Amino acid sequence: MKVRAGFEITYECPQPTPMILELSVHPSRTPDLLSWDRIKFAPPIPARTYHDSFGNFCHVITAPKGRLEITTDFLIQDSGKVDPIVLDAKQHALQDLPPEVLIYLLGSRYCETDRMSDFAWKQFGHLPPGWTLVQAVCDYAHNHIKFGYNDADATMSAFEVHQKRKGVCRDFAHLAITLCRCLNIPARYCTGYLGDMGTPKPWAAGDFAAWMEVYLGGAWHIFDPRNNVPRLGRILMARGRDATDVAIVTSFGPQTMTGFKVVTDDAAAPATA
């Protein structure tokens, strides 16, 4: 299956503004690219690139005063299969976990394990460890939070969304990640492209998506508490402890987003308006 993906994002800046961008396909998906995932800037500006401590591909730019348009458009090969379900994936004892995954048991900016631990063990402590436990956490987050774009709040944490019971995909992910970490299951935050391919129409306007990966049975596995069903055509861009580590744009000065469009479609399907 070939997937066409890309975006058009526009900013207005009152002065030259430094930014860090995490808008490229994750290096783990680079072998699947059928065309170059090249980020373009209008007007043309230089960009310095690097890999951060989580392995994500980043660009450092200085947005000029005025309008800056950031775009990309590419083709990528995808399996066409939905997220795998591995019911027999076992939960590891703490002492058996690889050292590099231990950071994903700790609290972070949006995942306050200290504030959610008592609730997590009261709500889920009676369940058997492993895949079933993680799915129960996802079921809880999916049913507890009401999705709504108008409820997006870049400062809202897992504890806060648990109280307010409304948010967007990042909030579903933050809550589920926090509860998993409280239950001694390493969990990390992921962001990327996730179109509506394979779901009933009408489809909503395109957007980036957030989900999580948990470490079970010696491997990382995808869970999506927002949609809570296996999906196809998922394209990873970045992963980290929470949304702080994978923000698509981190700005070091004032700016206003004036345009935003994301496309993720089956390249073989007829184009839609």
**Domains of the chain listed by start with CATH number:** 2-79+248-266 (2.60.40.2250), 94-234 (3.10.620.30)
Q: What is the pLDDT of residue 271?
A: 53
Please say if the pLDDT value at position 152 is more than 50.
Answer: yes
Q: Does residue 215 contact residue 104 with C-beta atoms inside 8 Å?
A: yes
The pTM for the full model equals 0.95
pLDDT (tens digit, 9 = 90+) per residue, 249-268?
Answer: 999 999 999 999 999 999 98
pLDDT at 106: 98
Closest listed residue to residue 264, CA positions, set 3, 2, 50, 66: 3
